[in-house]
Each structure stands twice: as C-alpha cells, then as structure tokens.
Amino acid sequence: MRIPIRSGQGNYISAAAFCLVVLLLPVWPPTSYGATDKPSPSSEELLKLGERMYREGILPSGEPMNAFVKGDLPVPGTAFTCASCHLRSGLGSIEGGVVTPPTNGPYLFKPFKGYSSPRYVNTPFLPPQLVKYNSQYYQKPHNRPVYTDESLANALRSGIDSAGRVMNDVMPRYLLEDDEMKLLVSYLKSLSSEFSPGVTDTTIRFATIVSDGVSPEERNAMLVPLENYIRNKNQADVHDPRMIRSNQVRSTGARSRLMAAVTMTSLGVANRKLSLSCWELKGAPETWRGQLEEYYRKEPVFAILGGITRGEWQPIHQFCEDNRIPNIFPITDFPVVSQDDWYTLYLSKGYYQEGEGAARFLNGKEDLKDKRIIQFVRDSREGRALSRGFLETWRGFGQKAPETITLKAGMKLTAKSLQRELAQKKPAAIILWDGPEALKTLEMVAVEKNRPSIILVSSTYLGKSMLSLNERVQKFTYLTYPYGISQTPEERAVQLATKEITSSSMGSKVFSMEANTDATIRISLQTQILTIILHSALLDMRGNYYRDNLLDVIGMDMDQDVPLYERLSFGPGQRYASKGCYIVQLAKTGLVKKSGWVIH
Amino acid sequence: MKKALTLIQLLAFIAVLLVGFSAGADDRKYRRTIENYSMPDVVLVNQNGAKVRFKELMQSKPVIVDFIFGTCTTICPILSVSFANLQQKLGSNSQKVQLVSISIDPENDTPKVLKEYLKRYRSKPGWDFLTGTRSDIDKVMYAFNAYIPNKMSHFPLTLIRSPGDGKWIRIFGLMGSAEFISECQKVGIL
C-alpha cells in the first residue's frame, strides 16, 4: 500500500498533510526490491528499475509513484511521468510558456550558467534569442550550482533546486523512499550521458536501406534527393547565417524565423559533416536481419534515413527497435502498425490507413446502418493490409465484421459469380480491395441492376489506372485517397471570406493528382519531406546527439504543410505523421471530396 | 530497513511549508477575466464515439472547458489533474458539473485515444473529451478567443461558465487546486 492522500481544502492543510507523509515515510517502508533475500540485482537491472520509474511512473514494488503538482494537486498514479515533461531523452521541452529543463546526467551534474556565457553551446532548451523574443511569455531558466545526489533528491522531493530556489510548482514533488530515490538518481545520471553510436567529433553517420527488387527509378527517386541534401549540408558554409537562412526549407512563418535566429548557436551541426551509406539488402526478407546486423557491426550509424524495400517493413522495424536505432520516414506502404514501438517514424500507416479511412467513412453513413456490406480482398500484401486496417477499425466501432470474399492471386472475378453475389445478398455497399483488375470488376458492376450505391476501392492499389475510371463507373465508385487535394476555387473563397485564415493557410494549397498517383514521383516527394524534417531536427537537437533526442525533437515539431499530404503532424510518441485519408469520387473536374481529411 | 528521519526529509518538510505559504501569500499567477461568448453549432465526437451537439452541451449545466490533446507534455497533465481533482471532490456528484476537454490535435485524437487518456486520469462520468473535424474544432477555438493554428503553440486556458448569468470566467495560466476550487465556488459550482 502506498500512502493514500486526498488533497485538503487549501494549501496549508494539504501542505501539512504532505509534511505528515514525509514524516511518516520512514515507518512506512514499501515491499521493494532488496527487501527480500533474492540475489541482489545487477546494475543493468537497477537501471531498468529506474527507467521504469522515469518512463512509466511505476515503483520497483509495482505501485505507481505518488506526487503533487501546483502545490497541492495529487497526481493520480501514472497519469503522467517524468518523460511526459522532460521527454524520453531527458532533454526537456518548452510548452505553453512552461520551460521544462533537461534532467539528464551531463546537465544536472554541471553547474548551469547558460545565459551568462555569450557563446554557449549545447544548451538543449530555450536559446537566449528566444528568451528575448518572447520574454514576457517564457520564464527564464535560472542559474544554479552543480547537483549532488542529496540536493537532487531534495529537488525531487521538495522542489528546491541546488541553488536553494523553490522551483515552479508545475514540477511535481515526489514521495519517494531512499532506496527508490537512489534508483531514480542513478538512472538520471546514466540518461543521455554519452552521445549515441554513429557520432564522432567530426561526423554524424547515417545509413539508408535499399533491397533488391526495387526498380532503378524508385531507388533513384529516394537516393538522389537524400544524397543531395547531405552534399548541400556538407558544402554549406554553416557559419554564414545567410546561408542557413536560405536553407530554411520550412514554409511556416514564425517558427522558421526563430529557427533562423537560433541557428548560429547550433555549432554542433556546423562542426560536423553528415555521411550517408546505402545498405543493400539481398535475397529473402528472412535473411535481412543477419545482413543488417552485419552492416551495423561494421558501421554503427546514428539513424537510418528513409529506406526502400519490396514488401513489409517489419524486419527492419524490428532491427531498429532491438538496436534502438531511429529510422525516419522509410518509404513503405507496409509499416508496422503499433501503439508502443518507439524507433521508427513513418509517414503514414500506408495501406492500413486507407482501410481505416474506409471503415470510418462507412461507419458514419446513417443510411448504411445494419445493412449488408461485402468485402472482396485480393490475396496479396496490399489486399491484406487494406483489409486489416478496415476490419480492425470497423470492429473498434463495435460493428460486426462484414462477409469477406478472398480473391486468390491471379483469380478473376467473373461476371457470373459477381451477379450471384449481388442477387443473393443485395449488399448496400461493396469494398473491393484489388489492384488495376478492379477496373474490370467495376465495369461489370456498372451494368448490374442490383448494383449497390457505394463501391469502395483503394486509389493507391489502383495506381495510375484510377485515372482511367470511366464516367459510368465514376458514379458509384468511391476511392480512399490518402494524399492532399487542391482547394477548389469555392473552398478558397469560403476560406478567404471567413476570418479563418492563418499564416499556415495563406497560400492556396496545390496538389497534383497525376503526380500523387505516380509511385516514383511520390517517392521523391516523400524523400523531400524527410530532408525537411531532418534538417530542422538536426538544428533542434542543439548538439545533443542522443537518438532518443532526435525522436523527441521531431515529436515536438509544429504541424507541417508539405507536398503530397494534406498535413503532417507530430507529438511525443506519435509515429505516423500523416493521419488522414480522403474518400473521393472522380469527376470531369478531377477529384471530388466525399469526406474530410480525417473522419471521426 | 527502518530509516531514521533524514536531514533531507526535514528539509523537505520545511520546503513544503514554504511552498504552501508562498503559494498562499503570492498573488495569483494566472489571469482572470469575465467574457461573453457565443457557441458555434457544431457536432463533435466524444470518447465513446458518440456525436455531441456542442452548443447544447455548453448550455446543459455548469460547464468547465479546457483545450488539451492526448500526447501533450507539461501543461495538459496539469490541467487534467485539476479536472480529476475536482471530480474527486465532487465524489458521487461528479455529474453536477460538465467538464469538457476539447482536443486541439483532432487528427491523432481518435475516440480511442481520448478514452485511454481519460482512463489515465481516472475520470468519472461528467468529464467528456471531444474531438472532431479540424474546421469544427477551429470554430470552437475561435468562439472562445482561443484560436491557435498549431497545437504546439498552445497555452493553458480554463473556461468556467457561470450557471447564473451564463457569462464565462476565462482563466489564463495554471491554477493550483485551492485556486481552482475557489473559482468554482465563486460561481456556485461547489
């Protein structure tokens, strides 16, 4: 049992309650590690216990940590953890006017006098220019001497920093036993304490991955923009602020200016070259793991940029997860869809996301309530991913799975069997997860009198052939379309007429359906997006080359207007940047939206 | 095994007293104004996937609104702890007050994400977390003069609708629980 506390009526009462608790702590020992006669845990296990406290808010005893914020607000169990505010790397965050300083070893066990030194480097948070820019809004970080184990424990328990200052009460006051405190403090000491592999004084090493079977066009569509970015960065005179400013690829206003303003202090990037190797994978996916381990042993890299294979990303995803290597925006329509994995950041959920979009769309259709839906699924990687996205989402709505008919590879749906299905079952909607062959099926459906009013297909699976859907078929064909669509003049007019115009929607958005449906063009756009995000992340890391920090800073990124997608958004732990999928119909004028970008 | 009362704990004792007193003595760190807002007629979706007419929800009973998102750091936890704490105080009367958290990251915040978030804060009936289309969410933000183009530039805001005159108390900044409770008492919520 931990100490049950309800907050009192006011500061004084609950402060008193808190004091009581602090006083009573010594006689309230938890059944924690070390209290039994089990062999004493290894230092690695001890670090794991500290990590669990930091990331999950769970004590070695398995109980949640107890704390107070804002003086007297008890924090319910694991509602949030150190990592929620200080982030996983421990390098801190800025949000809503609150500066959360770093809490990693190298930072805590050094005096902090950040803003007295004019040319400081490696101060991971709030650069001085930003303080000036926004001084009424942000609190200024305070100087303080180096922490000791005791003063650190004191800070965590009572909120008094090593300078004796009472800290902002957004930082919780934790109720921790001495042995628990020791674990946490050891963990903080080890946290982001040495640069990750792949970083030297002169270089940050990256790799990308290409498997055999990828066409030369697709390979180049990824490699060329990536290599260009690396070359330009290495050739740029980064000490020249104008150079960096012109390098600003971001379109959004304020943040870019701020970024430009702080770039000069990011000497870490200025002093290091980037290198890029291409790891070629040969043979069956089951053998990739061995090849990857071998590449990595020979050349440890800081992160994997992009990458392109035929098929599932899973083997590479797992390799990165196990070795704790970030993989930023691999080019794949078959990502691993997971809630908890950390190391791979995808552009989207690929085909799965289109299935998800279809389910959300159909679920919102009142006139389809309790009506029959049939799902035809090509027995292919694409078909399976689409169907899985659909079914998992559909069931999440409490709907029962629709009848599913599998189309074996190579098998054609005949007019006769189609007629039979329609006549017997009279479905109100059909989902047809098939490639370009779907066009023939749609033609056959067009002449059926039992034709349902909606047939859903995947634009990505149809590929370029979607452009040749004829008028007869267009009427009842709905496509999942996970890319951006240009604003119509009417939409633009509405936007201009309302005051709902912001810096990010100043320019009318323009996307090309022809380009978006071309796999090669798409790959080069996706790689461009990768370089945009990478560029700002390298600056935002501010010389703190820890892999978790790379993912943390991207997680704190602003939403982005980019080519190809309607919008990319980020957030701590979010791993699929583009979250939307339109449902569209084709008409003479082009694509007609039948849904919003994100459907709930 | 039995530990003596350490110097640290003594220090902690004193510190907590200090914090308590300074918070009591300190004038509020948040900004409080009284406003009139008119609510947009939009339909949002709650943590159970149910459609909610926002305007109606805002008129039902005493309402407290904040803007948060599922993966937000630092300020959303604090705002949500306040909500959780108020519900704790209300006990079995938790439905007397309608707490409404509105997602400013509607793309990521699906009903499933909202539900998990509320669970983490041990929410009780009477606290709804809403998502919707970006344009509807924008309309709600505009209505409360709280528009931000980007979730990463958000700020802590709590809006309390006074059941008496329908006016809104707008609180900019983070409150402690005593402060929050006293704001609630002022409008007769507690």
Domains in chain B (CATH in brackets) are 31-186 (3.40.30.10)
Does the CB of B50 have a partner CB in chain A at under 8 Å?
no
Reduced to 3 states (helix: H, G, I; strand: E, B; else coil), residue A47 is helix
pLDDT, residue A239, reads 54
Which of chain A's residues have a Cβ under 8 Å away from the Cβ of B135? 500, 596
Domains of chain A: 43-190 (no CATH), 203-348+516-547 (3.40.50.2300), 351-481+585-599 (3.40.50.2300)
Q: Are B97 and B91 in contact (CB under 8 A)?
A: no
The beta strand positions in A151-288, using DSSP E, are: 173-175, 203-211, 273-281
Q: Cβ–Cβ of A600/B132 closer than 8 Å?
A: yes
Provide the terminal-to-terminal Cα distance of chain A, rounded to the nearest Å: 41
Which candidate, A579, A334, A85, A241, places its Cα nearest to that of B134? A579
Which of chain B's residues have a Cβ under 8 Å away from the Cβ of A396? 112
A498: closest chain B residue by CA: B139
More confident residue, B61 or B169: B169
Interface test with B, best of A33, A70, A88 (most B CBs within 10 A): A70
ipTM of the complex: 0.84
Which of chain A's residues have a Cβ under 8 Å away from the Cβ of B28? none
| CB-nearest partner of A166 from B6, B19, B154 | B19
pLDDT, averaged per 10 consecutive residues of chain A (600 residues), comes to: 33 40 41 52 93 96 92 81 95 82 90 51 43 46 89 96 91 95 97 96 96 96 96 74 41 39 49 94 97 98 97 96 98 96 98 98 92 96 98 94 94 90 93 96 90 96 93 95 90 70 58 90 96 91 92 92 92 96 94 93
| CB-nearest partner of B1 from A29, A74, A96 | A29
Which of chain B's residues have a Cβ under 8 Å away from the Cβ of A574? 71, 108
- Residue A430: which H helix or E strand, with range? strand A429-433
pLDDT digits (tens, 9 = 90+) for B151-187: 888 889 999 998 888 899 999 988 888 889 999 998 8
| CB-nearest partner of B155 from A77, A80, A97 | A97
Mean pLDDT of B62-73: 94
pTM higher than 0.95, yes or no? Answer: no
Does the CB of B34 have a partner CB in chain A at under 8 Å?
no
Which candidate, B43, B75, B69, places its Cα nearest to that of B140? B43
Burial class, A197, CB count within 10 angstroms (exposed 0-12 / middle 13-18 / buried 19+):
middle
Interface test with A, best of B9, B83, B127, B179 (most A CBs within 10 A): B9
Q: Cβ–Cβ of A73/B82 closer than 8 Å?
A: yes
* A90: amino acid identity, one letter: G
Does the CB of B174 have a partner CB in chain A at under 8 Å?
yes
Which of chain A's residues have a Cβ under 8 Å away from the Cβ of B75? 95-98, 170
pLDDT, residue A534, reads 95
3-state SS, one letter per residue, for A560-585: ECCCCCCCECCCCCCCECCCCCEEEE
Q: Cβ–Cβ of A19/B131 closer than 8 Å?
A: no
Q: Cβ–Cβ of B108/A567 closer than 8 Å?
A: no
Q: Cβ–Cβ of A153/B122 closer than 8 Å?
A: no
* B93: amino acid identity, one letter: N
Which of chain A's residues have a Cβ under 8 Å away from the Cβ of B4? 26
| CB-nearest partner of B107 from A29, A85, A579 | A579
Which of chain A's residues have a Cβ under 8 Å away from the Cβ of B147? 502
Q: Cβ–Cβ of A569/B105 closer than 8 Å?
A: yes
Mean pLDDT of B82-106: 93
Q: Cβ–Cβ of B13/A572 closer than 8 Å?
A: no
| CB-nearest partner of B71 from A79, A96, A574 | A574
**Distance (Å) from the C-alpha of residue B15 to the closest C-alpha of chain A?**
6
Number of residue pairs across A and B with CB atoms under 8 Å? 221
pLDDT, residue B149, reads 81
Does the CB of B95 have a partner CB in chain A at under 8 Å?
no
Q: Cβ–Cβ of B156/A572 closer than 8 Å?
A: no
**Distance (Å) from the C-alpha of residue B77 to the closest C-alpha of chain A?**
7
Which candidate, A405, A458, A466, places its Cα nearest to that of A434? A458
For the four alpha carbons of A539, A542, A547 and A549, in that order, the dihedral sign comes to negative
Q: In what order do the strands lie in the sheet with B98-103?
A: B31-35, B168-172, B157-161, B63-68, B98-103, B127-130
Which of chain A's residues have a Cβ under 8 Å away from the Cβ of B153? 558
Which of chain A's residues have a Cβ under 8 Å away from the Cβ of B79? none
Q: Cβ–Cβ of B16/A74 closer than 8 Å?
A: no
d(CA A108, CA A145): 9
Q: Cβ–Cβ of B122/A77 closer than 8 Å?
A: yes
Q: Cβ–Cβ of B108/A600 closer than 8 Å?
A: no
Interface test with B, best of A31, A65, A73, A559 (most B CBs within 10 A): A73
Does the CB of B43 have a partner CB in chain A at under 8 Å?
no
In terms of DSSP bridges, do strands A98-100 and B63-68 run parallel, antiparallel, or are they unpaired?
Answer: unpaired
In degrees rounded to 5, what are phi and psi of residue A331? -85, 95
